[in-house]
Amino acid sequence: MRAFHEHIEPPADASWRFFYRQLDALPFEWHFHPEYELTLTLNSTGKRFVGDHLSDYQSGDLALIGPNLPHSWQSLARPDANQPHTAFVLWFSQDWVQTLSDGFAEYRPLPELLKRARQGLVFDAALSDRLLPQFETLIDATPRERLAGLLSILDQLLEAPSHTLASPNFAANRPTPSDQQQLSALLERIHQRFAEPLSLAELASFAHMSPATLSRFFRRHMKQSVHHYLTQVRLGHACAELISHTQPIALVAEQAGFTNLANFNRLFRKYRGETPGQLRRRFR
């Protein structure tokens, strides 16, 4: 499963996007986008992948995901088997946040919350329960009513405790619009080709930069090297495969882009704190 760049456009009558979906399953779909994403997931349990973080999630999972941060939810069960998995998804842009905080003193603390969200944040179940009626009113609300609802939800997130998900390596900086366009194309290339022997020189040629310029560009915006990011993408893919399927570990490593099994095992233990076999047993 390859990650993809999710293109999100607000409707003509709104400045942000709301999506309500009910599904028989939430499949692993490793993706990223330059917008912030606030997601409330109901009647679903499974695995949450955010950057280099992997953990269980339960029904009522409320998470705030930052720009360009790869993420996915992978459902494994429904507490009520007669009802679908349900997700409320709210997307808003970095410019939207800046306009709000610059124009209204009441929302000047918002950028600090969203700076922390660049690593992904999860909120406690009590807040999720308290906010659920407000999420539900968004379904049939008018655009102006939805905007008021989003502002009310954000206001309560500002005061709420949260837990950081991904490591500081994924606390990406905000790029300019032109840099974001270049960065999105580069990230999409990495996620499309991670299983191949992808070199810095090849990526530099794709981006029309020298290798040194690309390295500086990537580190400036993503706070990590291209090699480190590519390794994390490959490890994330390997984790999903280990949890979901029973293929031999050597095949999982190869399909994730690791040509040397010993190197895969070494990197897996370094970044995940356990062996591939231990992770498979823990999550199955």
Q: For 50-83, what is each residue's pLDDT tens digit? A: 999 999 999 999 999 999 999 999 898 999 999 9
Residue 8 has pLDDT above 90, yes or no: no
- Report pLDDT for 109: 93
The fold of 172-283 is: Arc Repressor Mutant, subunit A (1.10.10)
Contacts 24+ apart (CB under 8 A), 8-16: 8/33, 8/35, 8/91, 10/91, 11/143, 13/143, 14/143, 14/146, 14/147, 15/92, 15/96, 15/147, 16/90, 16/91, 16/92, 16/93, 16/96, 16/147, 16/150
CATH of domain 4-169: 2.60.120.10
Provide the pLDDT confidence category of residue 1 given band limits of 50, 70 and 90.
Answer: very low
Q: Where are the domains of the chain?
A: 4-169, 172-283
Q: What is the pLDDT of residues 179-197, one digit of tens each?
A: 999 999 999 999 889 999 9
In the chain, % of residues over pLDDT 90? 79
